Amino acid sequence: MILTVDVGNTRIKASVFEGDMSFEYFVFEKTELQKNIKNILKKYNKTTHLVVASVGNVEKESFLEFENELEVHFVSHKDTFPFVNSYETPHTLGIDRMVLAAGATLQYPGQNRLVIDAGTCVTYDFIDENDNYQGGAIAPGLRLRYEALHNFTSKLPLLTLESPKNFIGKSTYESIHSGVVNGLVYEIDGFINEYKRQCSKFIIILTGGDTDFLAKRLKNTIFANSNFLLESLNRTFQYKIKND
């Protein structure tokens, strides 16, 4: 069994896999990392590998304390990936984006793929049908957009995510919700439409913490899977084992 852990900017997600089958998904705060890992390993005591992809500020030592119980692996740029990295600055490409690209490559072979990860940031990653990672884009996610409006103005309030009641906001609160939510939805649809103009045989995967909220608002057909990164982390590690 493999325990995969995704350390994001905001929270930690984890899942236990045997082959391609996931037994359970977990979401917890960074301060609860070690307690939750211990509980997971106690419940799934046949786990042999702990595989970590991290973009957050959690120290490696927090995971290394489990080295006596199982093998710990941190995904890095030195690992074997199933695509050619054509990014002009390959070593600056986030590990989370590399794992998502690997998962899309392995799950959808021979197709152009666009992976959209809607979390703290929204990342767009394009892998062509010949398994070349071409790059993409990075934009603020929903929470960052709310925070930016509050932090960089003198009077706008800090709001939390909420579906806009009207497209035309009838109050400052409604206007903020309309601008943040509709703005990101139009952005995502716009990116997808531009990729479609350039490519054929297109697969679009939407993942990340805001997947469910955004998926039903998009006009384009997508595969919505909020746990795609954890599944990709499992596939990437199995690919590494077979090809190293």
Active-site residue set: 96
Order of strands, edge to edge, in the sheet holding 84-85?
84-85, 132-140, 121-127, 112-118, 202-207, 223-224
Integer CA distances (angstroms), 17 to 66, 165, 176, 231, 234, in order: 18, 40, 41, 8, 7
Burial class (CB in 10 A: 0-12, 13-18, 19+), 115: buried
Q: Distance between CA atoms of 62 and 233, rounded to whole angstroms?
A: 19
Written as six digits, the tokens of 144 are 């960052």
Query: What torsion, rounded to 10 degrees, do the Cα atoms 157, 159, 163, 164 define?
Result: 0
Please name the residue that has the structure tokens 């046949």: 46
Q: Distance between CA atoms of 35 and 207, rounded to whole angstroms?
A: 26
Asked whether 235 and 106 are in contact (CB, 8 A), the reply is yes
- Tell how far CA 218 is from the center of its chain: 18
